Amino acid sequence: MAGSLASVKCLFVHHMRRKHQSSYLLEGLESRCLLAGLTAQYFDRVDFADLKLSRTDAVVDFTWAGAPDPAVGADNFSVRWTGQVEAQFTENYTFYVNSDDGARLWVDGRLVIDNWVNQLPTEKSAAVALEAGKRYDIRMDYYEANLGAQASLSWSSATQPKQIIPSSRLFTAPSGLRATLYDNADFTVPRVSRTDSIVDFTWGSGSPDPTIGADTFSARWTGEIIPLYSQTYTFYAATDADATVRLRVDGELLIDSTSVQDGAQIKLEAGKRYDIRLDYAEATGTANVKLEWSSPSQSKQVIPSTRLFAATDTSIPSRLSPYTNSVLNFDRPDPGVIFADGAYWMVHTTGGPDNGWPLYKSTDLTSWTFVTNLLTSSNKPAWMTDAFWAPEIHKIGDLFVLTGTSYSALYGHLAIALATSPELAGPYTVQPTAIVVDTRNVLDSHIFQDHDGRVFLVWKRDGPSNGDFGSIRLREMNSSGTAFLAGSVETTILSNTGAAGWENNLQEAPWMIHRGQYYYLFFSGANIDTTYADGVARATSITGPYTRYSANPIITSNATWGGPGHGGFALDNDGTVWHLYHARPQSNPNYGRVQMLDRVVWTSDEWPTYAGGSPSTTLQAGPRVSAVSGTGRITINGNTLTADVFQVVRNATDSSLLDVIQNGATVRSVPFAEIEQLTIDGKGMNDTLTLDFSRGDVVPGAGLSFIGGSGTDTLRIIGESADDVLRHAAGQATRGSGILTYATTEKVAVENGMFHFDADTALATLDVSGQAIFHAAQALGALNILSGGDASLDAGGARVLRTNTLTLGATTRLDLNNNDLVVNSGNFATLQALVLGGYRSSPDTAAVGIVSTTSQTIHSGTTILALFDNSLAGFADFPSGSGNSIATAAIAGKYTYIGDTNYDGQVSAQDYTAIDANIGTSVDPGISWFYGDTNF
């Protein structure tokens, strides 16, 4: 084990004061020294709660035979190291984390190693490009469950042999906050980056930096804050009258205000580091901003630099996912939840006898995507007949263990099945016989693994009176969770004697948590309707005795949601316990049991409760989850029976946030950098999605997908500016490196930008009010060039624009160059007028109509765009080689020479003969030279 105390590198000579005649003491000047090593915080719990010790560790290289410090236990503790790392060479570095048990590593704000599991010493690695001499924010989280304890952090590169990262390359974060200044009010294109010791500025009519204008600028301060007391703190933000200010502490938006003085409260723990971000946007006039705090023991003051530590915004490795119940508005009862493989997974009750136990995936517990069915005809044993209820997945060692209920015609009642798979999504091997069979129904199975590694199966046994007066049972399993431990005994840990009136003689849906000194047994009771509710009991031993909470039920119905209960529990990044459960909408109880989410709030005497004692009904600050680009996959579902209007756009006041708006309401507002992929699924009816690039990019790195579904669906794209370039192909568009795909989408509308069509999009309708450039032939249902729009085909003569209908608005043009046009359904006179209008305009004027810039600029006076219909001989062969079918009533346009009456692309004797034959005829008085009058 390496040493733990860091050396000190001072930037300035310390002042000295005389102690005695011949000796001196150094005056501490903390802000003038760089501490080599990383700041370490030691917690006496695995969830980074109960801070016991803060110090500077020179390196991360520990093998603890016992506790890391007398203040911390030998098991069930966690450590967080934060600071900066500086590379010696400009090249790719490989970081290595070796840990027993779990560890995570962030470098420059990116989660590069995520190995958050109980394990023997295991090494994981990741490559990161570093620049010599530049300092990068670094953070390593570690937890110890039981038995061995080990944590080390190493690196290597092409020039640097593998080594523990030395203290000479590690630094504690500088005091103060990282300031980023922008010469606009929307936090884009940073101009200045610096460290400010405090936030207390009065710029008056000036600006914060010579490179920043005095008006319409913005500033963002980021880092960490450490409170001195475990108390409720009040934060204050004071600004000038026309400014906007937002303050986030520990990911929670405390202040969002245009007032000159505003405040908000949050409970903080002494000595613990919390993320902090202050945004300030100035309009006009004078400018000032000040950040203060107070608590019962802390008088109001500007937050001093000694309590602030600078870090970039990207170094904050977690985010909140705001949500409103329900989080999955379908009948998905009895959810079981697990965190594994970097995501949350949920399974739920289904009927039978076919596929069962659907698996859903989420990155934040608030948005769920269907993955697969875990029980199918290929793995369902014969004894499982029907009623595939209450499945749960738990990871035991390297194996995923799935349990659930099934009715069995063989046994004559409900029994419990067990299945295993090395992969979470299966396929699972279901054991050929039930693991629990009784003379009565047994159901609602739950696997619990204690901190010491022991594994238990917990389930409900029906009572003698139609299921009433049953019990919750427990029995120890083997270390892999695949069978009962030899010699283990089934134990009753909770019985329903009728004493607890709210339970109405029913107990079911057990779920167990070990927290601190207690084992908590959550369960549901009452009737299987809107009176259903959740309760809890606890014990200091897993086998009991269990004492019910005197305030049971801990969550019960309200006016919006009825019958809450039967669910699972999961932790977020900060150790908060979240309950995913079901409830019924009171407005339609027969609709089904939909998925709900609420956080568990612990009382001062360590009982679990919920805010308000019932399901939340307003917008909630959701789980704190990984905030790294590449982890966030979000799916927004529309309504099957009603039309939906979606909009994806950067937030109007904080452009770092991406807003997803559905039918006028913001359903997601997430930092854009944290989203990997976004899917909008319209489901049914006539849905519309607007992608608005006017405030910045809206397509995440792994792409955005729009699934229109049934109905006539529209994709509307608003470019950032007239010069904004997007490229479209069939079913796909790109902007920069961002990829947009669209399926079952009948209409695309492109606006305020330059849109390149590289392939035949085969769209039902294309609306253009920006600029559309067709690099390939197109077959469209309708082409509508709206007011101010412009569409053109590349010159070259190899393209055909075919559309069923064509509409041009005011101040618009369609430039065919030397290509062909087919309109399957149109008015000849209208199209003739559009061609004439285009012919009469010059290349340097705002043309209105159908034009050919090739004719105007290259062959002026000799070539033209000419129209004809099916009365012309040979019309059926036009355009040759186009591959496009042409309706009988179509009107065609062709780039050709003046005088080409048969439109074969040349002027020949046949053309003169045709003109001569038609001179003086009275087929149509006034246009007897019709076929020869190609300039109209």
Residue 784 and residue 837: Cα distance in Å, rounded? 17
Closest by CA to 804, choosing from 752, 763, 847, is 763
Average confidence (pLDDT) over 740-744: 78
Bridging pattern class, strands 601-602 and 608-609: antiparallel
Residue 505 and residue 710: Cα distance in Å, rounded? 47
pLDDT, position 138: 92
pLDDT, position 652: 87
Tokens 């409260």: give the residue.
265
Average confidence (pLDDT) over 497-519: 83
Residue 172 and residue 38: Cα distance in Å, rounded? 5
List beta partners, residue 771: 754, 790
Residues 29/14, Cβ–Cβ less than 8 Å? yes
Average confidence (pLDDT) over 618-626: 80
**HSE-up (13 A, CA, CB side) for residue 929:** 12
Structure tokens given for 84: 């900066």
Say if residue 814 is exposed, middle or buried (CB neighbours under 10 Å; 0-12, 13-18, 19+).
buried
Residues of the chain above pLDDT 90, percent = 38
User: What is the tens place of the pLDDT at every residue in 106-154?
Assistant: 887 666 787 777 788 999 888 888 889 988 889 999 999 888 899 999 9
User: Mean pLDDT lowest for which of 8-17, 93-102, 121-130?
Assistant: 8-17
> Roughly how many angstroms between the first and final C-alpha of the chain, as a whole number?
93
Note if the bond before 335 is cis, omega within 30 degrees.
Answer: no
Does the pLDDT of residue 30 top 60, yes or no? no
Mean pLDDT in the chain?
82
Buried b (16+ CB within 10 A) or exposed e, 41-80: bbbbbbbbbbbbbeebbbbbbbebeebbeeebeebbbbbb
Top pLDDT among 390 and 881 is at 390
- Polymer length of the chain: 936
Confidence of residue 660 (pLDDT cuts 50, 70, 90): very high
Q: What is the DSSP letter of 284?
A: S
Does the pLDDT of residue 932 top 90, yes or no? no
Residues 108/135, Cβ–Cβ less than 8 Å? no
pLDDT, position 614: 96
pLDDT, position 320: 64
Residue 927 and residue 918: Cα distance in Å, rounded? 10
Residues of the chain above pLDDT 70, percent = 84
Contacts 24+ apart (CB under 8 A), 201-209: 201/287, 201/288, 201/289, 201/290, 202/287, 202/288, 203/286, 203/287, 203/288, 204/286, 204/287, 204/288, 205/285, 205/286, 205/287, 206/287, 207/287, 208/181, 208/287, 209/181
Confidence of residue 880 (pLDDT cuts 50, 70, 90): very low
The runs of H, that is alpha helices, within 713-867 are: 828-840, 853-857
User: Mean pLDDT lowest for which of 215-224, 315-324, 558-567?
Assistant: 315-324
User: Mean pLDDT lowest for which of 294-308, 725-739, 779-793, 919-933?
Assistant: 919-933
Tell me the residue type at 904: D
Closest by CA to 326, choosing from 615, 63, 58, is 615
> SS3 of 854, please?
helix
pLDDT, position 119: 83
pLDDT, position 882: 42
> SS3 of 455, please?
strand
User: What is the tens place of the pLDDT at every residue in 163-200?
Assistant: 999 999 999 888 999 999 988 887 777 888 899 999 99
Does the pLDDT of residue 76 top 70, yes or no? yes
Average confidence (pLDDT) over 621-629: 64
Residue 542 and residue 547: Cα distance in Å, rounded? 12
Average confidence (pLDDT) over 734-760: 76
> SS3 of 278, please?
strand
Task: Tell me the CA distances in angstroms from 557 to 506, 529, 577, 596, 651, one per residue in order.
Answer: 17, 10, 21, 12, 35
